[in-house]
Every structure is written in structure tokens, then in C-alpha cells.
Amino acid sequence: MNQDTGGSTKKHEIMHPYSAPLRDIRFVLHEVLHAESHYAELGRDELNTEFIDSVLAEAARFAEEVVAPTNEPGDRIGVRLDESGVVVTPPGFKEAYRRFVEDGWAALCGPAEFGGQGLPESFGGPVGELLVSANMSWKLYSGLTDSAILCLEKHASQALKDLYLTKLVTGEWTGTMCITEAHAGTDLGMLRTRAEPDSEGSYRITGEKIFITSGDHDVADNVVHLVLARLPDAPAGTHGISLFLVPKKLPDADGAPGASNGVRCSRLEEKLGIHGSATCVMNFENARGWMVGKPNAGLKCMFVMMNHARLWVGLQGLAQAELSRQAALAYARERRQGRAAGGRMSPGQPADLLIEHADVRRMLLTQKAYIEGSRLLTYFAGMEMDKAKYHPDAEERQRAADLLAVLTPIVKAFVTDMAVEVTSLGIQVHGGYGYVRETGVEQFYRDTRIACIYEGTNGIQALDLLGRKVLGSGGQLARRLGGLIGAFCQNHATYEEMSDFAPRLAGLLKEWSEATEQVAEHAARDPHEVSAAAVDYLQLTGHLCLAWCWAKVAAVAIAALKNDQGEAGFYQAKLATARFFFARLLPRAEAHLDALQSGSTTIMSLPAEHFG
């Protein structure tokens, strides 16, 4: 890299190569979350540490060697709509996807009865992180397929499962989620797409959907759309929406893609980021579709897909943040600029390294603390998904489902907000070089920004957390989360080594619980209270969850150092980062607490005409 501090015109090296963070992933899975015991509890004794690590090693190799080289050209070249109306993906995307299918990665967590490997959903998290870091746009072509499989597995008829699931599970075909319409946005009650019953036992779907990720492409032989539409006699609003499976091409007698089905991409959106991903305007013109689930219950069916996708979006934020952190750290270790405040840190050199400057260290530690804490939180949510589906005890399944309901909007919104900050810091560390395309770090910010918007904007996630999950359950779901964190605080209250963490966490938990009760009381009197407080409540809850994560990490690191397990530097770094989070980032929680307790008046008192 360019080491000079002057005005050299030497072209900067393009993009720091992605390196899978296997040591930290293994630390989270094995030392903090005890993955082997988790899978044994689900009756999957074969999923031991050796197996997990072997899968991760192969996934890392695939991500680094096959997928990552497509990232920069995919952003630079982008997708295009050819004269025949087919979306053409960037160079290398089709070839990488073919390897993805041939090597079995697409089928990793798919049901075994339909050709999948049957691994629990939590396996998809670490593997997915590696692939999204390697190329987010490329991974989007398969990302919603996993969510569509879950939806069809739970709600589709056996005939639809038999015809479509094997192709989706193996990755031969891909799936989409067709919800948004131009006039409606997130107000799903305003959907106009029509579904008319025909004489063949199917329905004819007509309408236009926008912002459809991977709505059309050339990486797979067929695209299976899950479309929300209205029956002729459907009631108004969200209670009148049904869900339909609409393939791009109708399967022939052998189950192969056959005749076109009145489904076409009429336009590609030109976007801030994810240029290699096809974001399509999809037109359905008398297309044949088959109902999934019951009439007018489509939104309930779709929520299976949406909630899974929301966790995946949080994972996308984590993955892009990690990519930005790696580039920023490498640059800070190599770039010389100015003198650090402590004097000459690098005698004999014309300037000190960026990493020797306190403010650069602040940015790098902010990246490290948010990313590593979010990785633990996201993987933990994946394991709760496993328990909600597979645990042998019904009471434990319900407990996990309750906890997952609270964690889903936090992972989606808090982690993606974190990722925007972290990728912005990655640009800042690079200075002027971060602002130009040569280093590639501005791409990470552009690609990440969409994660705060799609699959429900982060404001909607905040409303979901506070309105539907916390207040809508009468506080029961909040008590699930509070009980989890409270148990940790109680178990570590007498450990002197945890005095920097457990008491502070317990204090914040108490404030959060009291704030939750206060919001509930105010909401009973003020209709604007929930909406006004929601975002700050989510940010407060997210910081509480990350404080719990870092306290858990600190406990593991302290024990490892005390028992002299080796790798002292690794565990000391964990402990130092935990202290940084508690000292430098956790105080943000108090600001959000103050803001949400201020009520809605300061937001709602200004008349709309006075905003200008």
C-alpha cells in the first residue's frame, strides 16, 4: 500500500482481501455458546466440535477463493436487463453459484426429505456470514430461497412441496418474496395485486411488485415467487391478503422448467449499493399461481419467511461490518501519517502508523466491540431458532420461541444500524483513500445501507419490538429477555473478577425494566407514545443485549487466563475489548433511556406546516 504522507499520485492498491475470522467464530460457537452441547440437547450428537470446525474451514475456503474474487467486479460492472428481458448477472456470478450448488452449500440446512443435509438453522449463520462478507450481492441470489423453503415447508400443500421443494433445497431453483407495491410501500393493507381463480384449480395473478430482490437472473434455471395478492371477495386491509406460489416457468411433466408463466422483470432499480444484486420491478400478467396456506391468511404465512429473512439481514450487516473492519485494520497497520501524541512511536520512520494514534484506535475498537458483540448475539438467536423448532421439550420450545420473537427485530435493526456506523468508520480510517473507489471500502458502506431498509425498515422493527412484542404480550416477552440477563447477573454477582461488568449490567437491566413499565403506562394515555419511544427503546435494548454478550465473553476470557489455557494474547484482547465496550459504548444506552422517557410532546407538538 501507499506509505507516503505527501501528495503522491501513486495509485492505491485495490481492496484488502477478505480473510474468514475463523478464530473468533470458533470462540463464539465453542467457548461461549457451547455449540456441541447445544446440538446434543437437540439429539444431534454427530454435530460435534470436529464436524463444526471442518464445515467452517471448507466454507471459509469457498468464500475466500471462489466468492470473494467476484465482489469488486460485481459492484463495478453490475447487473443488466438484456433485450430478451432476462437479467444478466456480473462476470463470475453464475460460475460461483454453480459451485455453490455442486458443493452442497445451498442444501446445508434444507430438510433431508427434499434433498437437504438437514443441519439446524444455526449452521446457516456462521456459514452465511462468511459468504455474505465475501460478496453480499452474490449471496442475495440464494438468501431468500432459504426463507421460502421454511415458509413452504410449514404452509404449502404436499403437492406443492413435492413439486418445488427439492429444486429449491438443492439450489437448482431460487425463491423470492414479492410483497411491496409502488403505491403502498410498507402499508400492506393497500395491496392491489389480484388473484382470480381459474378452472384448473389454480389462480391467475395480475399486478406489479417493486424492489424484488433476485426477481430475475441467470444463475439458476427457474425462479419461484411467493406473492401476496387479493382474492376477488377478499375483505379490505391486511386480513384480505392471500399467499401464492408463482413460478417464472411452469414445471413440465418431468418437473423441469417449461413454458413461461406471464412473469417478467420490466425494470432494474439503479441503487446506491449492492450493484451485483438484481432488484427488480416484477410484472405478473395472468400468471398461474397456487395458494399457500388458507385464503386471506397470507400475511401470517409470509411472516415465517419474513422473520427468517430479518435475521438474515442482521447477519448481512454483521458480515459487511467485518469486511470493513478488516480493511481498516490492515490500512491502519501499514499507513504512516503524522506523529502520535505520545511522541515518536516509530523512530527512524518519517511518520507513525495510524494505529498508534488514539483516535484511530477508538474507531478500530468501536468496530471490534460492536462486531464481535453482534456476532455473539446473532449466533445466539440462531440457536434459539433451533430450540424453537427442534427441542424435545415443549416448554423449552415455547421459551425459545418467545425469546426469538424479541431478538429478531433487535438483530435486524440494531445490528444493521451498527453496521452502517462501522462501515462509515472504515471509510474514516482510510481518510481520503476511503472516499474513492480504489480501496473498495466505500462499497462496504453503500452495500450495508440497504440493510436498514429492506425486510421492514428499522423504524418498523422498533415498533414491532415495543408495540407488538413487548406491550402486545403484556410484558411477557420482555420478561423472557430480562430473566435471561438477570440470571447471568445473579450467577456472577459474587465474582470479584466480574466486578467491572456484572454490577453495571444488572443496573442497566433494572433501568430497562423500569423504562419498559413506564412506556406501557404512558402508552395507555398517549397514542403517540409507542411510536415516539420505539427507536430509542430498541437501541437501549440492543445495547443491553450487547452488554450481556460482552459480560459473557469477559467471564470466558477471565476463566481462560486464570486456567492458563494458552493464547493469552487472544483472551487479553477479549477482556480489553469488553472493558472498552462498557466504558466507551455502553454509555450510549443512558442517552437512549433519557430520550425515550421524554415523552412524545417534543416530537408531536410542532404543527406540520411549521417544519419548513
Residues 467 and 577 in one domain: yes
Strand partners, 88: 80
In a domain, 52, yes or no: yes
**What are the pLDDT digits (tens) for 80-93?**
999 988 999 999 99
Q: Any idea what the CATH number is for the domain that residue 126 is in?
A: 1.10.540.10
Last residue of a domain, one of 239, 265, 298: 298
Residues 183 and 134 in one domain: no
Residues 53 and 93 in one domain: yes
Q: Give helix 476-491 / helix 394-409 axis angle, nearest 10°.
A: 100
The Cα–Cα gap between 296 and 548 comes to 41
8 A C-beta contact, residue 408 and residue 307: yes
**What are the pLDDT digits (tens) for 19-60?**
999 999 999 999 999 999 999 999 999 999 999 999 999 999
Q: Which residues are catalytic?
A: 455
In a domain, 364, yes or no: no
The answer, yes or no, to whether residue 5 has pLDDT greater than 50, is no
The Cα–Cα gap between 578 and 612 comes to 44
Residues 468 and 601 in one domain: yes
**What are the pLDDT digits (tens) for 410-461?**
999 999 999 999 999 999 999 999 999 989 999 999 999 999 999 999 999 9
Task: List Cβ neighbours of 237 (8 Å cut-off, separation of 6 or more).
Answer: 189
Type of residue found at 509: L
In a domain, 146, yes or no: yes
Cα torsion through 100, 103, 105, 108, rounded to 10: 160
Q: Any idea what the CATH number is for the domain that residue 178 is in?
A: 2.40.110.20
The Cα–Cα gap between 550 and 568 comes to 18
Q: How many domains does the chain have?
A: 3
H/E element holding 283?
strand 279-292
In a domain, 305, yes or no: no
In a domain, 12, yes or no: no
Residues 191 and 226 in one domain: yes
Phi then psi for 206, rounded to 5 degrees?
Answer: -135, 130
Residues 139 and 63 in one domain: yes
Structural domain boundaries enclosing 531: 462-607
Burial class of residue 553 (count of CB atoms within 10 Å of its CB; 0-12, 13-18, 19+): buried
Q: How far is the CA of 546 from the CAs of 123, 312, 407, 426, in angstroms?
A: 21, 18, 12, 21
The Cα–Cα gap between 240 and 194 comes to 11
Q: Which pLDDT band, with edges at 50, 70 and 90, does 344 fall under?
A: low
Residues 142 and 179 in one domain: no
In a domain, 253, yes or no: yes
The Cα–Cα gap between 472 and 129 comes to 32
Q: What is the mean pLDDT of residues 595-601?
A: 95
Q: How far is the CA of 291 from the CAs of 155, 245, 295, 304, 312, in angstroms?
A: 10, 6, 8, 16, 26
Residues 201 and 142 in one domain: no
Residues 475 and 595 in one domain: yes
In a domain, 322, yes or no: no
Tally of CB atoms within 10 A around 13? 14
The candidate with the shortest Cα–Cα distance to 226, out of 165, 311, 310, is 165
**What are the pLDDT digits (tens) for 267-326?**
999 999 999 999 999 999 999 999 999 999 999 999 999 999 999 999 999 999 999 999
Report the share of the chain in percent with pLDDT over 90.
93
**What are the pLDDT digits (tens) for 576-588?**
999 999 999 999 9
Q: What is the mean pLDDT of residues 166-193?
A: 93
Last residue of a domain, one of 252, 275, 298: 298
Residues 146 and 193 in one domain: no
Type of residue found at 3: Q
Q: Which pLDDT band, with edges at 50, 70 and 90, does 12 fall under?
A: very low
The answer, yes or no, to whether residue 221 has pLDDT greater than 80, is yes
pTM for this predicted structure: 0.95
Residues 144 and 183 in one domain: no
8 A C-beta contact, residue 317 and residue 448: yes
Q: Which three cell numbers stand for residue 126?
A: 456462521
Residues 197 and 145 in one domain: no
Higher pLDDT, 189 or 287: 287
In a domain, 570, yes or no: yes
The candidate with the shortest Cα–Cα distance to 5, out of 328, 326, 333, 349, is 349
Last residue of a domain, one of 280, 298, 316: 298
The candidate with the shortest Cα–Cα distance to 577, out of 415, 381, 418, 364, is 364
